[in-house]
């Protein structure tokens, strides 16, 4: 059997480099609770992202839940139907109601022109996703939010290292979150991040991440959103490699772009001024049937792409029990036809050529 080509391959640093951090952990005997390595990683992330305040947390879902806990109870949250299910799940988990607004047919991010019509007296927040690391219309969304006194939360799980007009994409909105899952461009095995652009909320965020107390003083309900020294060590190893990893991923993406038959495919249009991180390589087929045909052809060669994102989140089967119904024709059209092709920093050109050839032949 030929080697399986998965949609991604996890980057790991040199073992000796990681072990050098483990030796520091063994010497300090501090494993968690905001140890030296975690604080060092937070500081280096602030510098890398050019942001003033951030919180390194345990995963990319808990950070959404923490921020949604800061919203008035049982509110409506305007969100996108084209994202990973964690975006919608977090809203429901925190007893809010997701209000789906369709996506822009070019960028696949939430369509800012449709947001205002979805606002009701119960709306308290907009939670939008920078899809595949592409930027939402941050200027328009900020104007809408200010007009209606809404909190803006960006799910920037795909956007680490992305800038727009020279500014970190995570610096927009009241808050932005990121995922550091092992499959991401920058990872800490498991992990997440909150960037807080509202300095008045720093203490509340600190408490929400740490059970709601400092020492023996208890303030409100919080959760354990902290992360460990072991995860921070992985981040300290990987963070300096990010620019080189992005450059390598760019080479893979450029080759896909050169080789694929664009008469039969489409892909999202990156917004002006975006410096992308090449986190994913999505392609959209003319029909779902053609996607499934290509999926099988690749699978027969042990090549494993991913239907990402599918389904359109407004069509999740369990929404009915919450009484949620929404129609999002653009998202519902793209979601069944989109596929992310295999991509990672060390992906060999011969594999890109094979995949592109198989897709073009099938088309």
At 73-91, the pLDDT tens digits run 999 999 999 999 999 999 9
Average of per-residue pLDDT across 54-74: 96
Do residues 123 and 273 lie in contact, with contact meaning Cβ atoms separated by under 8 Å?
A: no
Nearest alpha-carbon partner for 312 in 107, 87, 138: 87
Under a CB-based contact definition with an 8 Å cutoff, are residues 358 and 298 in contact?
yes
Per-residue tokens: 67: 């921020």
Confidence of residue 1 (pLDDT cuts 50, 70, 90): very low
pLDDT in tens, 248-292: 999 999 999 999 999 999 999 999 999 999 999 999 999 999 999
Mean pLDDT, range 317-335, rounded to an integer: 97
The tens digit of pLDDT for each residue in 167-184 reads: 999 999 999 999 999 999
pLDDT score of 199 more than 90: no
Residues 80-103 have a mean pLDDT of 98
Q: Give pLDDT tens digits for 18-39.
A: 999 999 999 999 999 999 999 9
Q: 104 versus 3: which is more confidently predicted?
A: 104
Mean pLDDT of the chain: 97
> Which position has the higher pLDDT, 197 or 339?
339
Task: Give me the sign of the Cα torsion angle 23, 24, 28, 31.
Answer: negative
pLDDT, mean of residues 160-164: 97
CATH of domain 240-362: 3.90.1150.10
Task: Tell me the DSSP string of 76-126.
Answer: EEEE-SSS-HHHHHHHHHTT-EEEE-PBPTTT-SB-GGGTGGG--TTEEEE
Residue ranges per structural domain of the chain: 15-239, 240-362
**Segment 116-131 mean pLDDT:** 98
| Res 311: pLDDT | 98
What class, spelled out in words, does domain 15-239 have in CATH?
Answer: alpha beta
Mean pLDDT of the 207-216 span: 93
Specify the DSSP class assigned to residue 218: E
Residue 122 has pLDDT above 50, yes or no: yes
pLDDT number for residue 275: 98
* Share above pLDDT 70 across residues of the chain, in percent, rounded to a whole number: 99
| 15-239 and 240-362 have identical folds | no
Q: Which two tokens stand for residue 235?
A: 């981040």
Radius of gyration over every alpha carbon of the chain, rounded to an integer in angstroms? 21
Task: Tell me the CA distances in angstroms from 354 to 291, 357, 358, one per residue in order.
Answer: 17, 5, 6
Count helices and strands in the chain by DSSP H and E runs: 11, 15
φ, ψ of residue 279 to 5 degrees: the values are -70, -35
Asked whether the predicted pLDDT for residue 3 surpasses 90, the reply is no
Cα separation of 231 and 180, whole Å? Answer: 10
At residue 198, the pLDDT reads 85
How far is 261 from 36, CA to CA, in rounded Å? 51
Q: Is pLDDT above 80 for 196?
A: yes
* pLDDT band, very low/low/confident/very high, at 339 (cuts 50, 70, 90): very high
Given pLDDT bands bounded at 50, 70 and 90, which one contains residue 360? Answer: very high
Reply yes or no on whether the pLDDT at 195 is more than 50: yes
């Amino acid at each position: 059997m030929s080697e399986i080509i998965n949609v991604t391959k996890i980057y790991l640093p040199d073992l000796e480099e990681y072990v050098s951090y483990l030796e520091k952990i063994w010497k300090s005997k501090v494993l968690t609770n905001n140890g030296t390595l975690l604080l060092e990683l937070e500081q280096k992330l602030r510098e890398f992202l050019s942001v003033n305040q951030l919180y390194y947390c345990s995963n990319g879902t808990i950070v959404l839940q923490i921020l949604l806990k800061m919203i008035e109870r049982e509110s409506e949250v305007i969100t996108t139907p084209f994202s990973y299910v964690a975006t919608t799940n977090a809203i429901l988990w925190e007893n809010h109601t997701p209000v789906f607004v369709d996506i822009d047919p070019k960028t696949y991010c939430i369509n800012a022109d449709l947001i205002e019509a979805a606002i009701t007296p119960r709306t308290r927040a907009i939670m939008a996703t920078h899809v595949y690391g592409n930027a939402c219309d941050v200027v328009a969304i900020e104007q809408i939010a200010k007009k209606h006194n809404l909190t803006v939360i960006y799910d920037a799980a795909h956007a680490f290292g992305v800038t727009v007009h020279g500014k970190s994409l995570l610096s927009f909105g009241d808050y932005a979150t990121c995922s550091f899952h092992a499959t991401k461009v920058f990872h800490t095995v498991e992990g997440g991040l909150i960037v807080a652009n509202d300095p008045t909320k720093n203490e509340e965020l600190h408490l929400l991440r740490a059970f709601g107390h400092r020492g023996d003083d208890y303030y409100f309900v919080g959760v354990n959103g902290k992360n460990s020294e072991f995860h921070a060590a992985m981040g300290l190893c990987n963070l300096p490699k990010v620019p080189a990893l992005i450059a390598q991923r760019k080479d893979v993406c450029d080759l896909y772009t050169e080789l694929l038959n664009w008469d039969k495919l489409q892909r999202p249009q990156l917004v002006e001024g975006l410096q992308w991180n090449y986190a994913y390589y999505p392609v959209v087929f003319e029909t779902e049937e053609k996607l499934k045909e290509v999926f099988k052809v690749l699978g027969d060669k042990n090549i494993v792409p991913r239907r990402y994102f599918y389904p359109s989140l407004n069509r999740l089967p369990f929404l009915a029990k919450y009484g949620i119904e929404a129609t999002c024709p653009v998202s519902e059209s793209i979601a069944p036809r989109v596929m992310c092709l295999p991509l990672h920093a060390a992906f060999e050109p011969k594999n890109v050529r094979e995949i592109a050839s198989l897709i073009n032949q099938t088309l």
